[in-house]
A and B are shown apart, each in its own frame.
Chain A
Amino acid sequence: MDARVLNEVNYPAAGDRGGTPAQWVRTVDVSAENVVRIFGTTPALHGVSLDIGAGELVALLGPSGSGKTTLLRILAGLDVPTSGRVLFDGEDALKLTVQERNVGLVFQNYALFRHMTVLENIGFGLRVRPRIRRPSRREIRRRALELLDFVQLTGLEKRYPSQLSGGQRQRVAFARALAIEPRLLLLDEPFGALDAKVRRELRRWLLEIHTKTGHTTVFVTHDQEEALELADRVVVMSEGRIEQIGTPDEIYDKPNSPFVYSFIGESSVLPVRVEQGKVWLDEHPLDLAAGAVPSGPARLFFRPHDVEVGNDLPGAIPGVVQGLRRHGGARRVDLEVGGRGDRVEIELPADYSLNLSGRVAVLPRRYRLYPATTQTNLS
């Protein structure tokens, strides 16, 4: 796709030793085709297929053990799939070694070289190039300093990693990965080790960097908020499979499985029954359409904040208030529903008056029904 011009940083492409207007190296589109990875006898990936467009920012989201990091390592060339193909711009990437793949990888724990200064860390990828492709020492220094400005750490070039904060270290790790003019940027839980405030700052910063450089970027995270906020597309993974691929809106609003519904955002679940196109809670018909869900036991998913509350709503879910908690600008209410002691959580305005043990009826404004036979991995 388009190689984007970067005006802010005068950063020459490979081979360009002059000071001409610079551009980042052409980034690639990436495809994984039916990638299987088996460790010993344990499968970590069961045939994963994924297409990532050039310049796209994609999140691999899933709980630990979902295979997201394994997939990332395979893209980086640090791991080899048991079977399947990986293509960069349609070319077989598996034939390339890690070094040849020219992929910028940023680790959760930064993996900075402690015995090198910040500047030496950033320039490392250029210094280890074979002589013919290696820029002059001066040029390496210049580019490293430029990248240091780019990641907004001007003036810290002589520090050692131990003298930096976590957020600063992560920026150095970014700069180091960008220095090799990568065709693809891979981030493994890039903000996982940082505290919440720094994490939010760095998220915004990452978006800026991505807009400026236009690298195809894949990042791994188990933080759904991070994935939804940053990514163009989110790949939800579970137990070595892709559950759903879609834009943050699609993932959040139209989760295609109970797993995705409960993994993304907050959710309340209620066991219900579908009969004759109607949804039943015990012997109580609900004012909800069953849609295409077949008759039989089903599970009703809804978001705690997506509910209507009242005492005389016909066809609503009746509940008894079991707990009240302040939650930011709203109030969370635990409701006991039905005779089996099922509990759901709803969210109400903080000024809504409710008493413990009071009765309340709730009707989800938006919801999804899944046949009860569909397995959830979370519950």
Chain B
Amino acid sequence: MAGARGLALKRPSALPGFGLALGFTLTYLSLIVLIPLAALVLKSATLGFAGFWEIVTGARTLAALRLSFFTSLFAATVNAVFGTIIAWVLVRYQFPGRRLLDAFVDLPFALPTAVAGIALTALYAPNGWIGSWLAPLGIKIAYTPNGIAIALIFIGLPFVVRTVQPVLEEFDRELEEASATLGANRRQTVFRVMLPALLPAILTGFALALARAVGEYGSVIFIAGNLPFISEIAPLLIIIRLEEFGYAQAAAIGTAMLMISFGILLLVHLVQAWQRRRFGR
């Protein structure tokens, strides 16, 4: 076929290989992401809509979904705040051990999550180092939703730090200087000039941390206590259903999680797209 009569999608470009690159991307995405997800949806479809709905709106499922998403949202929010502060400290200050601290941030990525879960449980259990201090105050962390939140904060932290850090490093010093010469004090400069500029990166980090938290299993099951209706997360419920050979039910819960997650991530992206449209890049 003559080059001029190619796909309508294809426009003359200085970058060659569009067809090849797109083909590769689609094949790869299909193999890795789309086909497994489609299989999941198909499996849950064997229940029929009524069956699907019954499982998804079952009291235990709803409780698990609610727990999963609310603790994840909470953890991602906490990470958005403290991750930004950590990124700030790592970028803005020179101090001994800064690089070491910088390396620590990635540890939650590297550690097997089960190890993290066990370590956190040991710390926060009523007889653990931290838990034994909190127990007399009536605060229980391990074996409650609080423990789940702690685990999710732990595993989500690097996402926010690592997305905010490069943006902060690139942040134009002149903007801060302009703000200062216009009479803004430090607090005003941070809150009115810098944070709005960092917001897209913080949002991205938030979305990543959230996505990671929703799907987290390994660390949570050790610290959660896993009481149905109280501290049983949706991924655990899926495992329980699988062990009962309720494959379709497990797939249904998975599909529900998928849809909620997709909805949340879409929302985050829409907010970002709206910001980009307004401010340019």
Which residues in A have some Cβ–Cβ distance to B below 8 Å?
Answer: 76-78, 98-99, 101-105, 107, 109, 111, 113-115, 124-125, 128-129, 160-163, 176-177, 179-180
Contact = CB atoms under 8 A, between A and B. Distances in A.
Given A77-B181, A99-B180, 12 more contacts: A76-B181, A78-B181, A101-B181, A105-B178, A113-B175, A124-B179, A124-B182, A125-B183, A125-B184, A128-B179, A128-B185, A162-B279
Nearest to B192: A128
Contacts of B177: 76, 78, 98, 105, 107, 111
B277 to A, nearest CB: 9
A176 B177 CA distance: 13
A77 B193 CA distance: 19
| Among B179, B181, B197, B279, residue most surrounded by chain A Cβ atoms (within 10 Å) | B181
Nearest to B176: A111
Contacts of A177: 181-182
Given A78-B177, A109-B174, A111-B172, A176 B182 contact: yes
30 contacts: A76-B177, A76-B181, A78-B177, A78-B181, A98-B177, A98-B180, A99-B181, A104-B181, A105-B177, A105-B178, A107-B174, A109-B172, A111-B175, A111-B178, A113-B178, A113-B179, A114-B279, A115-B196, A115-B279, A124-B182, A124-B184, A125-B183, A128-B183, A128-B188, A128-B192, A160-B278, A161-B280, A163-B280, A176-B178, A177-B182
Contacts, number: 77
A150 to B, nearest CB: 17
A115 B179 CA distance: 13
Contacts of A179: 182
A112 to B, nearest CB: 8
A237 B180 CA distance: 27
A66 to B, nearest CB: 20
A104 B180 CA distance: 10
Interface residues of B, number: 23
A76 B178 CA distance: 10
Contacts of A109: 172, 174
Contacts of B196: 113, 115
A102 B183 contact: yes
Nearest to A99: B183
A80 to B, nearest CB: 14
A22 to B, nearest CB: 20
Contacts of B185: 99, 128
B181 A114 contact: no
Interface in B182-222: 182-185, 188, 192-193, 196-197, 199
A72 to B, nearest CB: 11
Contacts of A104: 181
Nearest to A106: B178
A169 B15 CA distance: 32
B181 A105 contact: yes
B231 to A, nearest CB: 41
A45 B172 CA distance: 25
Given A114-B197, A160-B278, A99 B174 contact: no
Interface string B261-281: 000000000000001001111
B199 to A, nearest CB: 8
Given A111-B172, A111-B174, A180 B197 contact: no
